[in-house]
Each structure stands twice: as structure tokens, then as C-alpha cells.
Amino acid sequence: MMPAEGGRQPNAVVSFGPFKLSMAQRLLERDGTPIPLGGRALDILIVLVEHANEIVTKDELLNRVWPNINVGEGSLRVHVAALRKALGDGEGDARYLTTLTGRGYSFVAPVFLSNESEPVARAVQMPEQLQKLPACLTRMVGRDEIVHEISQRLESDRFVTVAGPGGIGKTTVAVAVARHLLENFAGAACFFDLGPLNDPMLVPSVVASTLGLSVRSSDPVPAIISFLQDRRALLVLDSCEHVIDVTAALAERIYAEAPTVHILATSRESLRVGGEQVYRLPPLSAPTSTAYSAASALDFPAVRLFVDRISAGGRPIELNNSGAAIVCEICHRLDGLALAIELAAGHVNTYGLQGTLDLLADRFNVIQGGRRTALPRHQTLRATLDWSYDLLSPAERLILRRLAVFAGPFGLEVALSVVVDDQIDRAQAMNGLASLVEKSLLAVSTESATSRSPYRLLDTTRHYAATKLAESGEAGFIRRRHADCYRELFDAGSAGCADHLDNVRAALEWSFSECGDTRIGIALAAASSLLFLEMLLLAECQQWAERAISAFEEVDHGSWREMKLQAALGQSLMFARGNDDRARRSLARGLKLAEDLQDLRTQLRLLGRLGLFDHRTGDISNAFLLATRSAAVAVRIGDPACIAEANWNLGFFNYYSGDLLTAEENWKACLPESSLSGVDPDSRSVDRDTRARARCGFAAIRWLRGFPEQATKIAKEAMAEGATFKDPSTLCICLLFAGATLLRIGNRSDAEEVIERLIANARSYSFAPYEAAGIGFSGMLSISRGQVEAGIATLRRGVEALRANRQELQVPVLLGGLAEGLAMSKRFDEALAIIDEAIAKAEQNKESFFSLAEFWRIKGEILLSASASNVSAADGCFLHAIEEASRQGVLSWELRAATSLARSRVRQNRLDEARSLLTHVYDRFTEGFGSCDLRAARSLLDEIEHLQTAAE
């Protein structure tokens, strides 16, 4: 094979090492197995491979991968790091990318053209939160060319709205388009069902939660944009017409600000916003006369759909010429509307072809005699629905209109709970449900065998049935029963079932409406609060909790319901609005009620939340007391997962309070011994997220106690698990610990990668405190590289953002870094004021108390830099730092302080003393001699030895 030439080859398939890359398919495989790779990282790989063995500058990469978008080099580094990881670059003898400092990157592996023109296309799986397409409710007929055309337009124009009347098949086509394009988007396609929403303002929350984002403010749109702006993905916004204003505004922003996201919307009208291309979905092609043979009639998609739906009812039909004429007439009368055709086909097994036509003809003749005020196809569908409804038995009509209260999918048992009463028994109801499915009035998922909620009414049918329910006079009664059913369901422990979300919303909206029942609303809001928390719908959780609490009666105060609602309100406020005093009051009230009611698990959860609140706001002593109480509660529960979580909390507070030995024991308790050697323990008793957090914390302690190599190894292993965490905040915590540890070790390149990843991940999920901390550490990294002024500005920005959110936890450490930067820029007075602030905060409140020794060392260095006359005061700071580090068992801080004091002693020509004190610390290390601190200490010892030799 010949090496591939440089320059773009859009249809090329190239290979290197065990990999094969198809540029047209945007598919990377290793030994035939697809490799999951983000869109930006894949773009970078394609550019580098096109120019193999050439230097591609950073500017060239930024212009190619982010055309017309202003992004920083940090984003490029993050995606290059992801690419290196996917390729295994640097593992063993594998070498693919090289970085040319200050210039750019080069692909250095041999690249060959493949003998194959194209690889076999396979879907590359992307993260779970972007793999959400619904199961197909029906088989699509006669739309293949349209699906292909819309797919092409969507690829080129990025934003297409499929418009048309209700029942024409917009959703079916949209899902088919999404599945057709799934491989092109590497599996990153997401479907948003807006049909069940009654409140347009919930649209951004639904989009955010479906993407897996935390809704942490009243406006989740910035988080959505941040999450999508660097991703190649397909979003399907279904049934937009009733929430069109909010949906249109959101779609327009995504289109403008996320340039690699493609949007497919369905609506009865266009969204009328910038970038939108409208595709008017035509009806299915239907015969205009009855003069067709059976064979030629089946050339029409409307006829094929009609026959297909008859067969789906369990009685396949062999269409002859006389039957074809009847079917042609039916399809013609129904204007090719897919839903109307399906409804008519659902009656054939009961009435036969001719009987169905006769009944349909009678109904349409009556309608055509009156005034037609609706659009023809809208009237056709309404007429078909009326006709189908009139053909139902009284029991089937009752079932259909009662099912109208369901929003979104539902299961058999909840349907029976709503439908069955003294008018209709369980057997009649089950038979009626089966009959409605056969008649295409009730849809059932093709994956119903594995679905807990297989049934749903199509949006058009549901609205029609709702009008019949209102006309029946029993709407209030049935809506009450629906709401009470879900209250009972959640009281029985179904809080984790996301399938119920739309129905819970509908039930809560009715309960707190003028015609509703606030007693049911209070009970349901309490019972379903965990669902909203687990789905990160924090704004909604706050809304329903506040409405329920405001409607309390005397009996509710002090009850289980108040406990759940106060706990939910406190947690939603805390995570959505930061450390708000209202959040603490609600959490404290919830905890008191949990103690009064002896609910141990709620006590454990709220003790953890309150402890975190107090720790963030600087009340370290109370945070530690709460952590100690949580450990006692966990022991009473006896669940290993609860005990591990309590140990994590205790370790966290002991770490920041400077009791590192105890923190190490706490975190060890979360880690089976095998996990410290990189083996994932086969244990279901400890949550993976808890183990990961403990490992990163353990890595930080390993460095502090003098084991840099162990710290690096454990931190990197924990980072490798990052994609598997359930909670996105866990990844932020791990990145924060790992980034700080790698920065202290002096591993700047790895630290930069981790810090950039922390900022990007925190920004995606609107975790403002973690983003601010990451910005602060990025400033410290810049200062360590000599970019002092830029680093100072970045550090200040990080500290200001933390304080704006009352997040004091990381502030002292960042102040220490800021003081060092100011001293380097010779602003000594300001540097001393800031390091004194850091020392005072650590000593008074034990914030970042583990860094107290380092703060004293920094103060000594500032004093020495300011004036040689400060040598005595500086040495006093160094001695204080050594004593503090020794007391805490922090060997790495002790080494830094001993190095600073030894250097001062050398200047004073006290060589023996300098050598003795530094050797005493240096000789206690057993590893990590390549780290920056140990190299500096070794260099100083060599210098002292040289000076002593010269003096002799």
C-alpha cells in the first residue's frame, strides 16, 4: 500500500495501526469495532490524518473544526486529549499524535489507503443521555422517498420543520428520519415529546432533563446551549403547535449558538424563526377513482397502509379486484390521512369492507351537507374520529374518553385503576383496551414486552377524547381518580419511574387548579418529589413543593408529607440557587421532622445536604458535627452503601479540616483494597460514584503524605471511570481533586487537561461553583508557567465567582495561589494582605486547614521577596510551616517549607543547618523523586554540598 497523500479526500478510507477511518461515514473502527468519539475530536482526527506527518497549527485546527466560531485553545486541548485517549496514544509503543510546543500538532503514525471503498456502516454509540428515540408505534408505509428527501435537507440546512394537519403522520416520519440519520450523528439523536405539555414554560426544562442536564435555575436555556454548542447531535422537537412560541425561541437559539446541532421539528404550523426550512408533508398518495385492479391499487401508499393495518389486527386480507375498488373509495374519501386510514381499517374486521364504506359514506354525506368551516383535511380527520367513536360499543366509548386524562405513556394497571368502576368491570375494561388497540384508537409500543408503560393515545386522538370526556360531565371525577391513582402509585414506591413524569405533571396541574383538589395535590407533590429531584428538574420541584406547602392545613404540619416537601424544597433551592438561607431553613425543618418521625434514610440524606451547605458557607465546625451525626445514623441503618456515603462525608470534612490520617481511614473504608490497585471491585454494596470520589480524595492525601507516584496513578485511574458516573457532579468533584493534585505534583500538562475538562463539564451542567473553582485553578496553572498577570486576572475571576455564590470552600487555596502571583509581580503589600486572609480563614474556621502549612510558607517567601531585612520574620514563618506540616503528617508541605527555610539558611551561610534540616525531610521520601518539589530539594542539597566542598 502507498501512504495517503496530504489534503482533503472526502471519500477516503484510511488505516493506521489497528484503526480504520472512513471520512465520508465519519466512522472510526479498531479491529472492526466502532470507537465512540465526539464530533469535534473526530473532526480533529480527520484534519490531522489528511495532513499526516505535517505540522497543523493550532489556528488551522481551530478554523477547520470551529469555523466562524470564536473558541479558545483550551477547547482544542480538551478534544485532543479525548482523541489521544480513544486511540490509546502513548500506551506501550503506540504513537499517533505529537505536540509541537507553540506550533501545533502532527499525526506521526504511518497512514495507508484502504483497499475497500467504504467500510460496513455501523452505529457508533454515544453517551446514553443522547440516545433517546422512541419505539416505533406503527410500521411506516409509503414514506421512504420523503424520509430520504427530509434527511438530505436536514443534513444540508440543519433546521427543518415537518408541517401538516393532525393525523397526517408527522411524528412517524420524524422518527424514521432520525433513525435513518442515526449513524451520521454517531448515535447522538434525542426525541422531545412536547405533546403532553400544558404549560409552554416547561419546554426548556423538558429539553434539559431529556438531555440529562440539571435544571439549576429558572432559565435552563444557557445550560442547554452550553451543553450542545460543541456537540454534533440531532434534536427532534415533536408536536410543537400548542407550545410554539417558547419552542420556536429555543430552537432559534440552539440553531444560532450550537452550529453542529441539527433540529427536526413537527408542527401543524411552521415555527417562523431564523434558519428554519419548512417541509409540508403531503397526504399519502391515494387513488382518485375505483378503476384499479388489486395489483395496481397496491401501488398507492394509502391502500398499502389500509391493508397493512387490517392485517395487523390479526386477520390478513387477500385483496381482490372488487375489494380493491372499495378500498380505493375509502382511501379517496379519507384524503390520504394516515391516522384516518388507520382508524377506518380498524373497523373492517367487524363490519367488512363494504360495511365500513357504507358507514363511512353515510357519515361523510351528512357532514358535506353542512357548512365546512375547517380546512378540508382537518374536517376529514374530525369526521373520521366522530365516525369511529360512534361505531364503538358504549363500554369502548367510556374507556376511550376516560383514557383522555393520561398525558404521555401509561401502563395497564394504572389504566384499569382509572377506568374500572361500577359501570365497567376489570374484564370488560381489558377487552375494551384490546379492542381500541385493534381499531387504532389506542397505540401500543412495538417494544411493549419490555416497557412498563406501553400504551398511549396519539395526540390527536387524546384531544378528541378529551372533548368527549368534557361532554360526558364526568371529567372532574375521572381527573380526580387519575391524580389519586398516581398518588397511590408513588406512595407505593415508584418514585424512580420517569415514564410517569407527564402524568404526574398533569395530575398536579389539575390538583392545584380551581376545580382540583389541593389535598390530593399536597399528597402527590410530596410522594413524587424524589422523581423531580432524581431527574434534576429542580425548578419544577421547587414550584410544586412551594405550592403544596402554601396550601397546608393544620393536619399537614409535622406530617410525613411536610417532611418530604421541606426536604425537596431545601434540596432544589440549594442546588438551583446556591447557598440560599431559605434552603437551609427548609433542610433543617425537614431534618427535624425526619428525626421526629424516625425516618433514618431521610435523616442521612438531609444531614449530608446540611453538612455540605455549612461547609460551603464556611461553618466548618457545624459541618463536621453534622457529618459525625450522619455516620451514626448510617450505622443504625446498617446498609453498606449508606455507611460508605457517610464515610465519604466524614472524610471530606476531615480532609478540609486538616485531619488527614482520619480522612484517609474514612475514604479507605469506601474502597475495597483491590480498587486502590486499579481493579474495579465486584461489589454492589458501595455505589460507583462514592468509590470514585473516595479514590480521588485518597489520591490527594497520598500526595500530601509524600507519595506522588501513588497519587498520580490513583487519580488517573479514577479519571478513566469518568464516563460511567451516574451523577455529573461526581465527575466535577473527581476532576477538582485530581486537577489540584496534579498541579501540586507539578504535572502541568495533565493538570491542564483535567482542569479544562472540569470547566467544560461544570459549564455544561450549570455547576457554577465547580466552574469557578476550575477557573481559579486554571489561573494558578498560568502563574506556575510564568504567565503571571494573566493568571492573576483569572484567579481573581474564580474567587469572585465563588464568593458571589457563597461558596467559600476553595477560596483559601485560591487566595494562596493569588498571593504567590502578586508577589511575583512585586505587589508585596497586597500579597501579604491576601495570604494573611487565607491564614485567618484556615485558623478560624478550618477552611482548607490542610493547606495552613503551605500558607505560612507562602507568607515567608513573600516577606523575603519584599525585603532582605525580613529574613527573621520569614524564617519564623517557615518554621511555623514545618511544625504545622509535621503535626498534620503532611510530608509534601513539610518538604516545601524545609526547602524554603534551607534556602534562607544558605543565604545566611548556615550550610550545615540547611543541609541537616532538608536532609531530615528529604530522606523520608521513598518515591516520586522526579516530581518538581523533590527535584528542587535535591538540587538545593547538591548546591549545599558543592558550597561546603568549596569552603573546605
Helix 39-50 × helix 73-87 angle, to 10°: 80
C-alpha angle 890-896-900 in degrees, rounded to nearest 5:
140
Residue 149: what pLDDT? Answer: 93
Rounded to whole angstroms, how far apart are CA atoms 866 and 833? 13
- Determine which of 255-259, 658-662, 685-689, 922-926 has the lowest per-residue pLDDT on average: 685-689
Question: Between the CA of residue 913 and those of 27, 819, 854, 904, what are the distances in Å?
Answer: 64, 29, 22, 11
Q: Encode pLDDT of 200-215 as tens digits.
A: 888 998 898 888 776 5
Residue 138 has what pLDDT? Answer: 63
Q: Looking at the predicted structure, is the pLDDT value of residue 687 above 80? A: no
pLDDT at 86: 82
Per the confidence metrics, is the pTM higher than 0.85?
no
pLDDT band of 847, cuts 50, 70, 90: low
Exposure on the CB side of residue 839, measured as CA atoms within 13 A: 19
Tell me which fold the domain 128-280 belongs to: Rossmann fold (3.40.50)
Residue 5 has pLDDT above 60, yes or no: no
Please name every residue paired with 537 in a beta bridge, in sequence order, or none if there are none: 215
Highest-confidence segment of 46-60, 157-171, 718-732: 157-171
Percentage helix, strand, coil for the chain under 3-state DSSP, each rounded to 5: 65, 5, 30
| Burial class for 889, CB neighbours closer than 10 Å (0-12, 13-18, 19+) | middle
* pLDDT given for residue 808 in this prediction: 80
Q: How is residue 941 annotated by DSSP?
A: H
Which pLDDT value is given to residue 130? 52
**What pLDDT shows up at residue 255?**
93
Q: Give the separation between CA 65 and CA 73, rounded to whole angstroms.
A: 12
As beta bridge partners, residue 22 has 13, 27
* Rg, C-alpha atoms of the chain: 33
Residue reference for cell 374518553: 401
Q: Is 13 helix (H, G, I), strand (E, B) or coil?
A: strand
- Whether the CB-CB separation of 106 and 97 falls below 8 Å is answered with yes
Residue 595: how many other CB atoms lie within 10 Å: 17
- Helix (H) / strand (E) containing 267: strand 261-267
Q: Among 273-287, 599-613, 759-773, which is the least confidently predicted range?
A: 759-773
Distance CA 528, CA 541 (A): 9
Query: What's the CA gap between 585 and 694, in Å, rounded?
Result: 29
pLDDT at 373: 42
**Quick one: pLDDT band at residue 4, thresholds 50, 70, 90?**
very low
Q: Decide if pLDDT at 779 tops 80.
A: yes
Question: 3-state secondary structure string, 577-594?
Answer: HCCCHHHHHHHHHHHHHH
* DSSP category for residue 556: G
Q: Nearest 5°: CA angle at 736, between 898 and 800?
A: 90
Q: Is the pLDDT of residue 70 over 90?
A: no
| Polymer length in residues for the chain | 952
The pLDDT assigned to 372 comes to: 39
For the chain, what is the mean pLDDT? Answer: 84
Other beta carbons within 10 Å of 247: 26
Sequence-ordered list of residues with C-beta below 8 angstroms from that of 261, at least 6 positions apart, any chain: 158, 228, 229, 231, 232, 233, 234, 235, 254, 255
Where along the chain do the CATH 1.10.10.10 domains lie? 13-113
The candidate with the shortest Cα–Cα distance to 500, out of 532, 526, 469, 476, is 532
Reported for 31-38, long-range contacts at CB under 8 A and 24+ positions apart, including other chains, are 34/122, 34/123, 34/124, 34/125, 35/86, 35/124, 36/86, 36/124, 36/125, 36/126, 36/186, 37/82, 37/83, 37/86, 37/124, 37/186, 38/79, 38/82, 38/126, 38/230, 38/231, 38/232
User: 22: part of which helix (H) or strand (E)?
Assistant: strand 19-22
**Amino acid letter at 86?**
A
Q: Could you report the per-residue pLDDT of 146-205, keeping only the tens digit for each?
A: 999 999 999 999 999 998 877 888 888 999 999 888 888 878 889 998 888 888 888 998
pLDDT digits (tens, 9 = 90+) for 222-266: 888 888 887 889 999 998 988 999 999 999 999 999 888 999 999
DSSP three-state, residue 236: strand
Give 884 or 216, the one with higher predicted confidence.
884
C-alpha to C-alpha distances, 518 to 475, 484, 502, nearest whole angstrom: 17, 11, 19
pLDDT surpassing 60 at residue 366:
no
Model pLDDT, residue 682? 39
Give CATH 3.40.50.300 domain extents, the chain. 128-280
Span between the terminal Cα atoms of the chain, in Å: 68
Sequence-ordered list of residues with C-beta below 8 angstroms from that of 730, at least 6 positions apart, any chain: 689, 692, 693
Q: What is the pLDDT of residues 117-142, one digit of tens each?
A: 333 333 333 344 455 677 655 677 88
Q: Check residues 516 and 54 and name the one with the higher pLDDT.
A: 516
- Order across the sheet with 97-100: list the strands: 56-57, 104-107, 97-100
For the stretch 309-331, pLDDT in tens is 887 766 677 888 888 999 999 98
* Distances in whole angstroms, Cα of residue 232 to Cα of each of 18, 34, 186, 263, 890: 26, 17, 8, 11, 46
In this prediction, residue 733 has a pLDDT band, given cuts at 50, 70 and 90, of confident
Residue carrying the nine cell digits 464568593:
803
- Strand 97-100 versus strand 104-107 pairing type: antiparallel
Count Cβ atoms below 10 Å from residue 84 Cβ, excluding itself. Answer: 18
Q: What is the pLDDT of residue 865?
A: 94
Q: Which three cell numbers stand for residue 625?
A: 458535627
| pLDDT class of 679 with cuts at 50, 70, 90 | very low
Nearest 5 degrees, angle CA 287-CA 288-CA 293? Answer: 50
**CB distance 772 to 807 below 8 Å:** yes
Residue 123 pLDDT? 30
**Cβ contact 846:658 at 8 Å:** yes
Is residue 1 classed exposed, middle or buried when 0-12, 13-18 and 19+ CB atoms within 10 A define those classes? exposed
Contacts of 778 (CB under 8 A, 6+ apart): 74, 755, 756, 759, 794, 798
pLDDT at site 678: 41
User: Residue 939 — pLDDT band, cuts 50, 70, 90?
Assistant: very high
If you average pLDDT over each of 122-131, 653-662, 777-786, which comes out highest?
Answer: 777-786
Spatial separation of the C-alpha atoms in residues 285 and 755, rounded to whole Å:
57
- Quick check: 101 pLDDT over 70? no
**Percent of the chain having pLDDT more than 70?**
87
In the three-class reduction of DSSP (H, G, I as helix; E, B as strand; rest coil), residue 900 is classed as helix
Cell 398499502 belongs to residue: 304
Residue 195's nearest CA partner among 467, 511, 45, 407 is: 407
Q: Which CATH number fits domain 13-113: 3.90.1150.10, 1.20.1090.10, 1.10.10.10, 3.40.640.10?
A: 1.10.10.10
The region of weakest confidence among 83-87, 223-227, 721-725, 769-773 is: 721-725
Residue 535, CA distances (Å) to 24, 236, 496, 760, 875 in order: 37, 20, 9, 21, 55
Q: pLDDT tens digit string along 478-505?
A: 999 999 999 998 888 754 567 888 899 9
Q: How far is CA 613 from CA 274, 571, 626, 627, in A?
A: 43, 10, 11, 12
